Amino acid sequence: MKPHARPVYLNLARIHLPLAGWVSILHRVSGALLFLVFPLGVWALSVSLSSKSGYLLVAAWLTHPVSKLFLVLLIWAFTHHALAGLRHLALDVHWGVERDAARRSSWGVLLATGLITLSAALSLFA
């Protein structure tokens, strides 16, 4: 018997994932991003609470356009992680596990995340 040919590498560009798969991958990416940025946030909070000059320093950093873009990214990560996490919890108790319902909830997560992030971006850059 000839063994089945196994893929040598995994080409993510050629894999056709369903929408729910992309939402799940983005959930992991957003969680990793939030985990990695958490120490920076704690440090910035510590600096801002240490003195008036520390507060003014952090406030000046946060008014820079690059910092605002980073904040928009973090708002996306937090919003997506929270909404996709709620979706995963619903799937764990067998709510919306049918294909059409799962597709609708995936679209709902992506659209709600996009709208909330866009709203935050508009208010940050206004």
Predicted TM-score of the model (pTM): 0.86
Query: Which residues in 47-61 are b (16+ Cβ under 10 Å) and which e?
Result: ebeeeeeeeeebeee
| Confidence at residue 15, expressed as pLDDT on a 0 to 100 scale | 77
Q: What is the pLDDT of residue 1?
A: 66
CA angle 67, 69, 75 (to 5 degrees): 100
3.40.50.1000, 1.10.10.10, 1.20.1300.10, 3.20.10.10: which CATH number matches 20-125? 1.20.1300.10
State the pLDDT at residue 17: 86
Q: Which amino acid is at 106?
A: S
Q: Looking at residue 7, what is its pLDDT?
A: 62
**Tens digit of pLDDT for each residue in 61-116?**
999 999 999 999 999 999 999 999 999 999 999 999 999 999 999 999 999 999 99
